[in-house]
Structure 1
C-alpha cells in the first residue's frame, strides 16, 4: 500500500508541475502582446520583406560592416507583429539604435537611377517617440567607395565615425585631410534631421540659426561641396539650409505614428534634374492629407519642395547609374517601410467613377448622379515596366457611402477575367485577392465594382470619394475615387435644333460651322451646369464640350467649327447631341460635310516697294527687295492674275506713269487691267515662288514705268490685287 501511495503522490506532483509551467507560458505570451509597439501593429502596406532584402538593397555580408569597422546599424526585417496579407510581409527598415547608431542601406546596381529617366520612390517613415539624437537622409551618390560610402573622420590614422550632427552624410568640422573630404563624395542629400545642433561648439553647430519649430527639419544640399557650409570663427561649421521645412514627428498616438514620404527624380535634359519630395502628403489610410493650421502630433501638415540639382556634381561616366540609399544616425531608430521603387517595378493606379445609367464618367464639374442610377467604381492597375512581376496583389476597396455593391469584374489585358462578389464586402470594404500577377505580357487589370444609388433621397446628398488600396510584393499604391452628389431625377424633354445646312462642301483650307440651339420642351431654365455637347465624327467620339447658360437661361446656343484640314479629304458624317446633368438627352442631329481634294493659296507681303527715283526720271523702275510672292497648291491647277490701281502722291497728285508687267520684250500696263502672272492647267502640289519661277531677273515681272511729267509728291502709294483661281479646266 505504501508503494502505491508513493506512486500516487508522484503523479500529483507531476500534474501540478505541468499546470504551473503552462500558466507561466501563457503569462509570458500575454506580457509580450502587451509590450508589442503599436507603431508596428499599424505598419502601412508595403513591399514584401524578401523582395526588399534580396532585390532593392545591397545586403551581402560585406555590407554588414561599415568602412570604419563598426557594425552597420541597419536592418531589414519582416513585420512579425502584423499579419501577412496574401502572403506578403511588409518589410520594415530600421536604421540606428543604441548598440549600432550608424546605418546605411544602398541600392543595388539594378535598382540605381538611370539619370536620363524619371524615377519615384515612396515610403512610410517612423521616427520613434524616445529622445531623438540624429535623423535620416535620402542620398544620391557616386562616391568611389560605392556601397561603403559614409561620412567619416580620421583619428590616429584610423577611420572613424563622424559626429552625430553629420548623420553619416555631411562633412565633420575637423579631423579630415580637407574639410569636405570626409563627407560622402559626389553626392546630394535630403536630410530629415531630428536633432537641433546649435550649441555653437565644434561638431554641434550645423543648425545654427534654425527655428525651434517642431522637432525635425527637412533640408537638402551637396555634402561633398564646400559651398554647402559656412565656417564659424571657432573652427565649427554651419550647414547652409536652403528653405528648411519644419515638422513635428514624435509623441504621436495611434493612427499618427507613420509619415508618408515620396521622392521623385525628373531629368530636365540640360544636365540638371528636379528632385521633389512630398512629406505627410497622405494619411495612414492612403487618403490625401488636407490638414491645415498648426501642426501637432495628431494634426500632421503636408509639405513639399523641389530642388534643381546639377548632375555634373556627381561626376558620372557615360551611361553610369546613380546610386541611392538611406543613411541614418542616432541611438533611437528611424524606421521605414517601402511602398514603391520604380527601378524594381514601375506601376500605377488610376480611378474613374462612372454613372452607367447616364453613360458618363464623373468629373469635377459634372459630379451629379441620379437616385436609382447604376454606378461603376473603376480602378485601372497598370504595370509600366520592371525587373520582376507585381505579384500577390490584394485589394482593399472602401465603398463610398450610399452605394450598395451588387458585384463586379476584373479584366486583365491577357483576355482573362474574374468576378467580384457582393459578399466580399465587410464593414464597408471590399477585400479581394487578384488571381493574376501583372508584368510586361499582362500589364493591366481593370477592376470594376458595380453598385447602385438609393432609389430616392430626401435632399441632394454629397458623397465623398473613398480610398482603394492595391498592394503586392513589389508595389503598394492607393487611389481615391471621385466625390459626387446624388439627386432625385428630374425628367425633361431636351430639344436641339440647327439652322445650318445638313449637307455642305468645303475646301480643305476652309472650315464648316454648325450652329445650334437647345431648349427644354416645357420652357424651363437650364441649371448652372448647362449641358454637355457630344460630337461624333465618322463614328469616333470627340472631346465633350460643356455649354453653360448666360443671361437668358431658357436656351443655350452653340457653334461647332470643323476644320477641313482636320477632317481630311472625303465625305464625313457628323452627329451632335446634348445631355444635361440629370441625364436628359436630346435628339441627335446628323450632318454631312464633304472636304474637296483641292487647295490653292497665294501669299504676298502687305507692303511692296519700288526703288527710289528722282522726280524727273523717265524709264522703268525696278522692285526694291524680294517681294516674296508664293502660291501653294494641293492637287489643283491654278492661275495667278493681278491688277493695279493708279499711284497717288502724298500731296494728292497722280503719278505720271503706271505699274506694268514685263515678260521679256512684252510689256503690259496693270493699271485697271487684269494681267496673267503665271499658272498651270495641270494639277500641282507644292509651293511656287513666283519671283524665282516666273521673273527670270530684276528686269522682268511687276515694275514701275515712269513718264516725263514732274512728280510733285515725295511718296506715291497704290494697290495691287492678286487673284488666284484654282478651278481651271485642262484643255
Structure 2
C-alpha cells in the first residue's frame, strides 16, 4: 500500500506539472487573442460576474482598454458565468439586437466544452445572478452542461423532467458546443457525456456545433434506459473439510442517461471549426411581435469588421411565457462557459448591448455626374463628381448614444473638396470638414450625442473620382455605450479615353461670378469651353452638369443656337431661394469622359414686396346740402400709393370696399362711396371694386393711385338729395370704414 501511495503521489505531481504547462500556454494564446480582439463597449456599466462559487469569469482588457472583454474560462474543470445587471435587463416588449465577438481558443480536437448565450428569469439563486446548472447537492455543474443545460450525472434519474429541473429555469439558450459528448450505453451512465447523441445532429457529429433550446423544459431531453446486470457470489453450501461453496447470482437494475434535442443546429464544417484561434461574430435579433429569436453566425470579418456575404442564419420560436412566466416584460441575459478534462480559453467582446442603445449606420456613394448609386464592382469615370454619405440613426434605448467618434476610412480613389455634418435636431450647429482633413483618407470626427430629440446624424462628403481601384472601406462609429459600422463598396475609376484637357470659363455678365436678380426670373449663365489642344468642341457630345445649392439639377446638352464652344445655361427661378445668395456650380463632360473644371456663380435673389400706403383716417370736403344728389371728393389727406419692389414685370391689382356712413344722432347717411371712371360708377358698399391694376416697370416701382383723382373721377361720396345736415348750422359728422385688398396678378 505504501508503494502504491508513493506511485500515485508521483503521478499527481507529474500531472500537476503538465497542467501548469498547458495553462501557461493557453494564457499566452488568450493574451495574444485579446490583443487582437475587435473593439467592443466597456462592460462595467452593464455586466457583472455571476454569484456562483467558484466562478472563473472575469472582465479583462484588450488593446481598446479595460473591461473590453469577458474571459469565461482559461483552464480545465472551470465554470464561468456573467449576467446583465438589474438595470440593463433586456426588454421582451420591443425588438432588440445583441451582437458580440466570440473566441474559443485554438486547441482544436483537445478543446471543450464551449459557451452558451442565455436569457433567463431563474430567481431561485440570488435573483438570477446565481443561475447555473445545479447537481443533487445544489452545487454548480460544468462539463457538457455548459453551466446552463440540465445534468444527468445521477444515473438513477429516469425522467426528462428530473434532468430539466437541474438546468437554468425559465430560460432559452444558444450553445456553442466545442466538444462532442457522444458516449452511449453503460459507459454514459453517471458521466454527463451523452448529450450529443441526438439524431438532430445529422452530419459532422464529431465536430463543434451551435444549437438552441430551453434548458429548464423536459422537451429538451430524451431519456435512455440501460439495464445493468451485476453478479455477486453467494454461499450456497459447504464442501469437504468445511470449505464454503459459492454460486454466482445475477441481478439487473435499470439506470438512465440523457441526450439533448438540438433545435435549428448549425453544424461544424471541419475538425477545427470554432476552435481555430479566430474571433467569430454573432448577431441575435429578438422580434417582440412574433416572439422569435434569429441568430446569425459569422456575419463579419474579424480583421476588417466588414460584413460577410451569406452568413448562416436560423430563426426559432421563443414564447415569452417560456422565459418570463410572471410577465415582467424583462429578461436577464449573459453567457455561461465551462470546461472539463478537455478545455479551452473562452472570451466574449460585446459590440451591441440590447436595450441600452439601438443604433445603426449606413454608407452610400453616389456618382453625381451620372446620378447613379455606386454598387460593389462598379466603374465610374475619372473626374466624375461624387458624393459619399454616412447616415447614423438612433432608434431607441434606455440611454442616449454617447461620446460618439466617427472613425472614417475613405476610398483612396477620390479627391475630396469638403464635407458637412448635420443633425436631426436642427438647433445643433452644422460642422464643416475641410478638403485638407478629408484627403488624409483617415480621420476622426466627433458626433453630437444622439437621442430621441436628435435621432439622426448625416455626414456628407463631396469630391471627384480619381483613376484607380478602391477596396471596400469600412468606417466605425464608436460610442461609449454602442458601436456601429458602415462600408463603402469597392469600385474602379476609369481614365478618359482622350487625354486633352477640357476647361470652362464664365463670360459676359457671368464673368464676375456674381449675379443679382429679382424673384420669379430665370437667370442666364454664359460661358466658354475649350480643349487645351484647341480641338473643336462638339455641341452634340457636350453635357452641362449644374449643381444648385448642393442639389444636382437635370443635365443639358449644349444648345444648337450657341456659337462654337460657348454655352448658355438658364438657372430655373423655381429653384432659386428668394432673399439670399444661391450657389451654382457648373461643369461639363464630353462623350470621351473628359470633365472640365468647375466654375461657380453666386446668384442673389433680391427680396421684394408689394405695399400699400393709405392714411389711417381721412375726410371728405365739407359740403352744403341743397336737396339734390351730389358727388363729394375726398380731402387732400386721402392719398393712396402702391410701392412694388419685387422687380420689373410684376403685376398687381388694387380693390376697395366700404361700410355705410353712420352718425349716432342721425343714423345712416343716405349716401355711398363710389369709384367713378368716365361714365362708370361702381358702388363700394356693395362689395370690392377694382380701383387700379398695373405692371411694374422698374425694380422699385411706385404708383400714385390717388394722384389723378378729380371732382368727377376716382373715389367720391355719392350723397342723395334727402340727406339731412347739422342742426342750427352746426356740421354733422358721419363715419365709415374703407377696406383695401391686393392681388399680385393682373385682372
User: TM-score of the superposition, structure 2-length normalised?
Assistant: 0.52
Give the CA deviation at 1:306: 1.0
How far apart are the structure 2 equivalents of 1:118 and 1:133? Answer: 33
Q: Find the counterpart in structure 2 of residue 518 from structure 1.
A: none
Match runs of 1:114-153 below 5 Å: 114-130=91-107, 131-145=110-124, 146-153=127-134
Match runs of 1:104-119 below 5 Å: 104-119=81-96
Q: Which has the larger radius of gyration?
A: 2
Q: 2:173 aligns with which of 189, 198, 202?
A: 189
Give the CA deviation at 1:199: 1.7
How far apart are the structure 2 equivalents of 1:328 and 1:254? Answer: 14
How far apart are the structure 1 equivalents of 2:432 and 2:277? Answer: 36
Q: Find the counterpart in structure 1 of residue 285 from structure 2.
A: 264
Does structure 1 residue 57 correspond to structure 2 residue 41? no
8 Å CA contact 1:141–1:314 kept in 2: the answer is yes
Does structure 1 residue 445 correspond to structure 2 residue 457? yes
Q: Find the counterpart in structure 2 of residue 306 from structure 1.
A: 315
How far apart are the structure 1 equivalents of 2:445 and 2:539? Answer: 51
Task: Between 190-199 and 129-138, report the one with greater CA deviation.
Answer: 129-138
Q: Find the counterpart in structure 2 of residue 693 from structure 1.
A: none
Match runs of 1:573-722 below 5 Å: none
Q: 2:365 aligns with which of 347, 353, 362?
A: 353
Give the CA deviation at 1:97: 3.2
Provide closer, same or farther for how the CA distance between residues 115 and 38 of structure 1 changes in structure 2, counting only shifts above 3 A.
same
Q: Find the counterpart in structure 1 of residue 353 from structure 2.
A: 341
Give the CA deviation at 1:174: 4.2
Give the CA deviation at 1:441: 3.3
Match runs of 1:559-578 below 5 Å: none
How far apart are the structure 2 equivalents of 1:75 and 1:206? Answer: 28
How far apart are the structure 1 equivalents of 2:211 and 2:447? Answer: 43
Provide closer, same or farther for how the CA distance between residues 213 and 109 of structure 1 changes in structure 2, counting only shifts above 3 A.
same
Please give the per-residue CA displacement for 1:534-560, whole angstroms capped at 9, x wherever unaligned: xxxxxxx9xx9xxxxxxxxxxxxxxxx
How far apart are the structure 2 equivalents of 1:279 and 1:207? Answer: 20
Please give the per-residue CA displacement for 1:564-606, whole angstroms capped at 9, x wherever unaligned: xxxxxxxxxxxxxxx999999xxxxxxxxxxxxxxxxxxxxxx
How far apart are the structure 2 equivalents of 1:316 and 1:133? Answer: 33
SS of structure 2 residue aligned to 1:160: coil
Give the CA deviation at 1:42: 1.3
Give the CA deviation at 1:425: 6.0
Provide closer, same or farther for how the CA distance between residues 251 and 198 of structure 1 changes in structure 2, counting only shifts above 3 A.
closer
Q: 1:432 aligns with which of 427, 432, 444?
A: 444
Does structure 1 residue 205 correspond to structure 2 residue 176? no
Q: Find the counterpart in structure 2 of residue 332 from structure 1.
A: 344
Match runs of 1:453-602 below 5 Å: 453-454=465-466, 463-484=470-491, 486-487=493-494
SS of structure 1 residue aligned to 2:164: helix
Q: Find the counterpart in structure 1 of residue 296 from structure 2.
A: 278
Does structure 1 residue 374 correspond to structure 2 residue 385? yes
**Could you list the runs of 4 or more consecutive aligned residues of structure 1 that deviate by over 6 angstroms after TM superposition?**
33-36, 248-256, 521-524, 579-584
Q: Find the counterpart in structure 1 of residue 261 from structure 2.
A: 240
SS of structure 2 residue aligned to 1:39: helix
SS of structure 2 residue aligned to 1:98: coil
Give the CA deviation at 1:90: 6.3
Please give the per-residue CA displacement for 1:73-99, whole angstroms capped at 9, x wherever unaligned: 2112332xx155xxxx56111112337
Task: Between 37-46 and 209-218, report the one with greater CA deviation.
Answer: 209-218
8 Å CA contact 2:69–2:347 kept in 1: the answer is yes
Q: Find the counterpart in structure 2 of residue 40 from structure 1.
A: 34
Provide closer, same or farther for how the CA distance between residues 364 and 41 of structure 1 changes in structure 2, counting only shifts above 3 A.
same
Q: Find the counterpart in structure 1 of residue 679 from structure 2.
A: none
Please give the per-residue CA displacement for 1:83-123, whole angstroms capped at 9, x wherever unaligned: 55xxxx56111112337711212223333232221110001
- Aligned pair count? 441
Give the CA deviation at 1:523: 11
Provide closer, same or farther for how the CA distance between residues 315 and 436 of structure 1 changes in structure 2, counting only shifts above 3 A.
closer
Provide closer, same or farther for how the CA distance between residues 247 and 478 of structure 1 changes in structure 2, counting only shifts above 3 A.
farther
Provide closer, same or farther for how the CA distance between residues 370 and 244 of structure 1 changes in structure 2, counting only shifts above 3 A.
same
Please give the per-residue CA displacement for 1:656-681, whole angstroms capped at 9, x wherever unaligned: xxxxxxxxxxxxxxxxxxxxxxxxxx
Please give the per-residue CA displacement for 1:687-709, whole angstroms capped at 9, x wherever unaligned: xxxxxxxxxxxxxxxxxxxxxxx
Please give the per-residue CA displacement for 1:23-49, whole angstroms capped at 9, x wherever unaligned: xxxxxxxx9x9988321221111112x
How far apart are the structure 1 equivalents of 2:81 and 2:590? Answer: 59
Provide closer, same or farther for how the CA distance between residues 344 and 34 of structure 1 changes in structure 2, counting only shifts above 3 A.
closer
Does structure 1 residue 397 correspond to structure 2 residue 408? yes
Q: Find the counterpart in structure 1 of residue 308 from structure 2.
A: 289
Please give the per-residue CA displacement for 1:295-337, whole angstroms capped at 9, x wherever unaligned: xxxxxxx322111222222353344312222111124331011
Provide closer, same or farther for how the CA distance between residues 580 and 187 of structure 1 changes in structure 2, counting only shifts above 3 A.
farther
How far apart are the structure 2 equivalents of 1:450 and 1:431? Answer: 15
Q: Find the counterpart in structure 2 of residue 223 from structure 1.
A: 215
8 Å CA contact 1:73–1:100 kept in 2: the answer is no
Cα RMSD, aligned residues only: 4.2
User: TM-score of the superposition, structure 1-length normalised?
Assistant: 0.53
How far apart are the structure 2 equivalents of 1:34 and 1:319? Answer: 43
How far apart are the structure 1 equivalents of 2:353 and 2:30? Answer: 29
Provide closer, same or farther for how the CA distance between residues 322 and 409 of structure 1 changes in structure 2, counting only shifts above 3 A.
same
Give the CA deviation at 1:371: 2.0
Q: Find the counterpart in structure 2 of residue 162 from structure 1.
A: 141
5+ unaligned residues in a row in structure 2: which ranges? 1-24, 227-255, 499-537, 542-550, 555-588, 595-747
Give the CA deviation at 1:231: 1.3
How far apart are the structure 2 equivalents of 1:384 and 1:127? Answer: 33
